[in-house]
Amino acid sequence: IIGTSILLILIIGFFSLEAIQEKNKVNLANKFNRAIINFKPEDSQKTVENLINIVKENDVTYSPLALYFLIDNNLIKSTEEINVLFDELINETNLEEEIKNLNIYKKGLFNSNFVSENELLQILNPLINSESIWKSHTLYLVAEYFYAKGEKEKAKEFFNQILTLPKANNDIKSASQKRVNRDLSE
């Protein structure tokens, strides 16, 4: 009888936990939707606060969406604060591996206009040294970064890495080949 009681308590506990998690997910979805629907560019502070809180919830669906909305609408001016939110998403949210890699790439893309070469490479190294589907995108970003800075040899090195990747994105591979042939051939 004690064994049956324990089993019954475990089953009830499991289903209760599942119901609570589902309710929390629905509440977070509603909070996100309200923040987006009630967004007014002239009065965005409440939206910003709500979306930052959603990022910090570390939800695999709504935390990335909240961060993307903040960035796309230029609601946070501080690059440092955006980077802290990216780090929260990348390091604290239980994202699938390639979604995590996408966010590392997006962090690199976001920072590419105002960080040093070393800082950009530090952000993107996990992708450069991986077999991620985002590797060719990352190499292309770094190659274009160096090309824009007038460092053509470094740019060519990264474009050539793309050309030798077995699983490179075809459009990126084609754009890299064109860049090497047109602008970086000797």
Supply 13's token pair: 């506990």
- Domains defined for the chain, CATH in brackets: 1-93 (no CATH), 96-186 (1.25.40)
In 10 A of CB 153, how many CB atoms? Answer: 8
Asked if 120 contacts 152 with a C-beta cutoff of 8 angstroms, the reply is: no
Burial (Cβ within 10 Å: 0-12, 13-18, ≥19) of residue 36:
middle
State pLDDT tens for residues 63-96: 999 999 999 999 999 999 999 999 999 999 999 9
pTM of the model: 0.86
Please state, rounded to an integer, the average pLDDT across all residues of the chain: 92
Supply 21's token pair: 């998690």
pLDDT of residue 154: 96
DSSP H or E segment with residue 163: helix 152-164
Buried-exposed string 157-183: b where 16+ CB fall within 10 A, e elsewhere: ebbebbeeeeebbeebbebbeebbeee
Burial (Cβ within 10 Å: 0-12, 13-18, ≥19) of residue 84:
middle
Q: How far apart are CA 134 and CA 98, in angstroms?
A: 8
pLDDT of residue 161: 96
pLDDT of residue 112: 96
